[in-house]
C-alpha cells in the first residue's frame, strides 16, 4: 500500500489528469488561472509571467537562457510541471522544440491582471445577517470539526459528541485508512496510522483528494468540484455568502465541507449563508507555502518521558499510537515512550522517522528553538529499536534432505545456485534450503535425476 505522504500533495496533480477539453473549460475562469499560478514552483511562475504577453512560440534554447547554468534541474521541473498542467503547449518543430502558453489560460490570466475579477457571489450586507463568529470562534469551530473527524477515524467511540458525517461520506474518507473484516470492528491500516501523524494541512489535502477522486460516484463532475473548491479559496475568511447563489451540486458540497470545518453554516429569519474558515481560503496555496510553524505542545526529556501541554482528546489518542500515556490533567498529558510502545507502533506501519518528525514539528515553544528540539539520544534510540525489527528477514523456503547419492545432491545444489535460489547447504550431511519460488523447478530437476 503506498504511503500517505506520497499522496498528500495539493490537488493540482488531479487538475493535470483532466481531459484537455475540461481543462480549457477550467481555464476560462480567471480565479482558477490565478490558483494554478499560485501553485507553481517559483521558476515556473517566472516563465508564465514572462511569456504572458508573448504570442509567438519560444524556442527551447531561448527558454533555457532565462535561467542560470546551475538551475538546469529546476528548469526541467518547471517545464515538466507546466506541460503536465497543459499551461505550456509543446510545438514540435522539425529542427527545434518550442513552447507557447495555452491560449485560453493566457487570455484569462491577462484579463485578470488588467481588469481584476469578480466572484460569482459577493458577501451579504451586514443588515440582513445575524452576528457573525469572531476570527477566534471561527478557528475554534474549524479545529473542533476536524478533531471530531480524526477521533472518529481512530475510533467512533472516542468522539465526544455525535458526528454529523453521513455514512457515505465517512466511507469515502475512511477508504484506505480503515479496514474491516466480516463482523470485526474497523481498524486503522498502515496508511491510517501514518495519516494521523501528518500535519493538519497535509491531512486536509489527502481528504480533499479522496473526495474529488470519489465525486463521480456521487454524480458530481470532477472538473466542476475542482473549480468550486479553487474558487472558494478566493472568498474572504469570516464573511457571509448567501447559499442561494450555489448550484444544486455546490449546495451538497458545501454541507460536506462544513462537516470538515472548511465552512460554517448559519441561518437567519429568511436567508441562509456559509462562512469560509482559514482551511477553505488556504486551498489554492501549495503545501510548501503553508509550512509556518504552529503552536507546539510536546516536551521530550532524555529519559523518554513526554509532557504534552494540551487539553485535546485527539492529542491524547495520537500520543497513544507510539507511547504509554500514564496520566492526564486538565491541560497536561504525561507519558513515556517505551520499547514495547514503539514496537507496537512499528508493527502498525508507523516509521521511526515519522515519529521523530511528529515530535519535532509539535515541539513546545520552550524547546522548539533548541537544536535539537528532541534529545538526540531519544531519536537515535527510536531508530535503533526500529532497526531491531528489521534484523531478521523472513523468506519462504523449502528444506531438502535424504538425497539418494552425493552426485544427486551436488547437481541439485548447482541447479539451485544457478537459479539464485540456494539459501543454505550442509554438504557433509547433504541438506539444503532453497527459496520457495524455485521449489517446483527443483522438483522437476530431481525427478530427471532419478
Q: What is the pLDDT of residue 193?
A: 83
Residue 274: strand, helix, or coil: strand
Q: What is the second-level CATH architecture of the domain 397-449? A: 2-Layer Sandwich (3.30)
- Exposed/middle/buried for residue 195 (C-beta within 10 Å: 0-12, 13-18, 19+): buried
Is residue 187 within 8 A of residue 180, CB to CB? The reply is: yes
- From residue 285, give the alpha-carbon distance in Å to each of 14, 290, 326, 426: 15, 7, 40, 63
**372 preceded by a cis bond (ω within 30 of 0):** yes
Residues of the chain with CATH 3.30.70.2610: 397-449
Residues with Cβ within 8 Å of 307's Cβ and at least 6 positions away in sequence, in order, are: 298, 299, 301, 332, 333, 334
Q: Which three cell numbers stand for residue 373?
A: 528540539
> How many CA atoms within 13 Å lie on the side-chain side of 311?
3
DSSP assignment of 200-222, as one string? HHHHHHHHHHHHHHTGGGGT--H
The per-residue pLDDT for range 118-144, each reduced to its tens digit, is 777 888 888 777 788 999 999 999 988
Q: Categorise residue 377: left if φ over 0, alpha if ψ from -120 to 50, beta otherwise.
A: alpha
Phi and psi at 334, nearest 5°, equal -115, 130
Is residue 29 within 8 A of residue 21, CB to CB? The reply is: no
The per-residue pLDDT for range 174-215, each reduced to its tens digit, is 677 877 666 666 677 888 888 888 877 778 878 888 888 777
Provide the residue-wise pLDDT of the chain in tens; the chain has 450 residues: 344 433 334 557 778 888 888 888 889 988 889 888 988 889 999 999 999 999 999 999 999 999 888 888 999 999 999 999 999 999 876 778 899 999 999 999 999 989 887 777 888 888 777 788 999 999 999 988 888 888 887 864 344 444 556 666 666 666 778 776 666 666 778 888 888 888 777 788 788 888 887 777 777 788 888 888 888 888 999 999 999 999 888 888 898 889 888 999 998 888 899 999 998 887 766 544 544 446 789 999 999 999 999 988 889 999 999 999 999 999 999 999 999 999 999 988 889 999 999 999 899 999 988 889 999 999 999 999 999 887 777 789 999 998 989 989 999 999 999 888 999 999 999 999 999 999 888 888 888 776
CATH number of 16-115: 1.10.10.10
DSSP state of 124: P
> How many CA atoms within 13 Å lie on the side-chain side of 21?
0
Is residue 261 within 8 A of residue 144, CB to CB? The reply is: yes
Is residue 235 within 8 A of residue 278, CB to CB? The reply is: no
Q: Categorise residue 356: left if φ over 0, alpha if ψ from -120 to 50, beta otherwise.
A: alpha
Query: Which element (helix H / strand E) includes 431?
Result: strand 431-435
- CA 346 – CA 363 distance, rounded (Å): 22
Residues of the chain with CATH 1.10.10.10: 16-115
- CA 308 – CA 241 distance, rounded (Å): 39
> How many CA atoms within 13 Å lie on the side-chain side of 296?
22
Amino acid at each position: 500500500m503506498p504511503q500517505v505522504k506520497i499522496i498528500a500533495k495539493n490537488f493540482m496533480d488531479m487538475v493535470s489528469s483532466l481531459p484537455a477539453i475540461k481543462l480549457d473549460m477550467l481555464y476560462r475562469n480567471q480565479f482558477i488561472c490565478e490558483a494554478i499560478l499560485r501553485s507553481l514552483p517559483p521558476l515556473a511562475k517566472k516563465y508564465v509571467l514572462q511569456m504572458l504577453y508573448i504570442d509567438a512560440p519560444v524556442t527551447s534554447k531561448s527558454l533555457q537562457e532565462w535561467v542560470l547554468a546551475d538551475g538546469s534541474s529546476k528548469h526541467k521541473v518547471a517545464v515538466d510541471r507546466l506541460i503536465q498542467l497543459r499551461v505550456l503547449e509543446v510545438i514540435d518543430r522539425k529542427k527545434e522544440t518550442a513552447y507557447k502558453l495555452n491560449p485560453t489560460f493566457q487570455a484569462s490570466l491577462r484579463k485578470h491582471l488588467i481588469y481584476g475579477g469578480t466572484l460569482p457571489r459577493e458577501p451579504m450586507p451586514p443588515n440582513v445577517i445575524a452576528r457573525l463568529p469572531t476570527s477566534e470562534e471561527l478557528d475554534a469551530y474549524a479545529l473542533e470539526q476536524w478533531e471530531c473527524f480524526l477521533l472518529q477515524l481512530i475510533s467512533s467511540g472516542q468522539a465526544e459528541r455525535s458526528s454529523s458525517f453521513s455514512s457515505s461520506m465517512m466511507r469515502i474518507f475512511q477508504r484506505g485508512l480503515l479496514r474491516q473484516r466480516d463482523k470485526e470492528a474497523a481498524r486503522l491500516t498502515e496508511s491510517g496510522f501514518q495519516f494521523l501523524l501528518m500535519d493538519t494541512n497535509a491531512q486536509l489535502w489527502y481528504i480533499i483528494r479522496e473526495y474529488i477522486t470519489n465525486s463521480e460516484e456521487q454524480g458530481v463532475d470532477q472538473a466542476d468540484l475542482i473549480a468550486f473548491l479553487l474558487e472558494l479559496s478566493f472568498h474572504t475568511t469570516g464573511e457571509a455568502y448567501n447559499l442561494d447563489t450555489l448550484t444544486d451540486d455546490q449546495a451538497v458540497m458545501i454541507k460536506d465541507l462544513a462537516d470538515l470545518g472548511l465552512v460554517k453554516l448559519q441561518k437567519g429569519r429568511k436567508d441562509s449563508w456559509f462562512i469560509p474558515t482559514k482551511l477553505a481560503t488556504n486551498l489554492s496555496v501549495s503545501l510548501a507555502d503553508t509550512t509556518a510553524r504552529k503552536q507546539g505542545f510536546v516536551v521530550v526529556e532524555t529519559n523518554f518521558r513526554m509532557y504534552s501541554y494540551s487539553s485535546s482528546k485527539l492529542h491524547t489518542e495520537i500520543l497513544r499510537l507510539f507511547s504509554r500515556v500514564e496520566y492526564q490533567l486538565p491541560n497536561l498529558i504525561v507519558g513515556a515512550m517505551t520499547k514495547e510502545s514503539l514496537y507496537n507502533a512499528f508493527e502498525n506501519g508507523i516509521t521511526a522517522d515519522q515519529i521523530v518528525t511528529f515530535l519535532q514539528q509539535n515541539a513546545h515553544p520552550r524547546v522548539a528553538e533548541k537544536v535539537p528540539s528532541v534529545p538526540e539520544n531519544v531519536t537515535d534510540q527510536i531508530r535503533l529499536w526500529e532497526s531491531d525489527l528489521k534484523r531478521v528477514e523472513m523468506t519462504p523456503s523449502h528444506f531438502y534432505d535424504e538425497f539418494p547419492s552425493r552426485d544427486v545432491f551436488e547437481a541439485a545444489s548447482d541447479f539451485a545456485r544457478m537459479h539464485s535460489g540456494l539459501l543454505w547447504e550442509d554438504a557433509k550431511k547433504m541438506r539444503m534450503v532453497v527459496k520457495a519460488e524455485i521449489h517446483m523447478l527443483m522438483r522437476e530437476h530431481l525427478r530427471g535425476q532419478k
